[in-house]
Chain A
Amino acid sequence: DAMVIQNPRYQVTQFGKPVTLSCSQTLNHNVMYWYQQKSSQAPKLLFHYYDKDFNNEADTPDNFQSRRPNTSFCFLDIRSPGLGDAAMYLCATSRGGVNEAFFGQGTRLTVV
């Protein structure tokens, strides 16, 4: 089935140690999003790609970077994770325009 897949489901990293979360899609969608979701809060948009065009939210810390090497894959890099970066990270895709987003199951990041 076409879907959005995030790996790993659970990631534990050490304070300050770079970590990469991955997302792949078989939907061939133009847009890929990364959201950060902390407990009992709304998903917060970090950035998104429309094809190769990268769009960063103004309040996304520089500690967060993203790469999209091709249509199918998108990565979230956290250069120096802090305790406050522990959260669920959600990847989503969309055809673009005012179309619904399709979400992956998320990666829960723990920082120790």
Chain B
Amino acid sequence: AQTVTQSQPEMSVQEAETVTLSCTYDTSESNYYLFWYKQPPSRQMILVIRQEAYKQQNATENRFSVNFQKAAKSFSLKISDSQLGDTAMYFCAFMTYLNNNDMRFGAGTRLTVKP
């Protein structure tokens, strides 16, 4: 079975500081994609960043970066210079090449950025 685990139900960070959200996953597949999605209080989920498992280089999108450790099956999200607008639920998600229309989500981490 393929599972995604987010062990931090809630986190908070001061504005302008850096925070890291954790995600681990379990799969027997070697080819897959990992995603971080953000779901603000308005509830529309949007993609933050994605990582292809075959790439060793960690993905980066502006203030968002990942630390992808394939051997450890870990995929953490780092948010630098946190902004009030980063307050949201963050979901880690996983999709394999084999079941590439089946995206699995973790339980989410609720991040609050404090002024």
Are the chains A and B members of one assembly?
yes
Mark A residues whose CB is within 8 Å of B: 31, 33, 40-43, 45, 48, 50, 55, 88, 90, 92, 94, 96-98, 100-106
Mark B residues whose CB is within 8 Å of A: 4, 9, 32-33, 35, 37, 42-47, 50, 52, 91, 95-97, 100-108, 110
Q: Is B43 in contact with A55, judged by CB distance below 8 angstroms?
A: no
- Residue on B nearest A6 in the bound complex, by CB: B44
Closest 10 CB pairs of A and B: A103-B45, A42-B105, A105-B44, A98-B33, A42-B107, A100-B47, A98-B100, A106-B43, A43-B105, A97-B100
28 interchain pairs (CB within 8 A)?
A: A40-B108, A41-B108, A42-B4, A42-B105, A42-B106, A42-B108, A45-B103, A45-B104, A48-B101, A48-B102, A55-B101, A90-B45, A94-B101, A97-B100, A98-B52, A98-B95, A98-B96, A98-B97, A98-B100, A100-B50, A101-B103, A103-B44, A103-B45, A104-B44, A105-B42, A105-B43, A106-B43, A106-B44
> How long is the Cα–Cα vector from A55 to B103 in the complex, in angstroms?
13
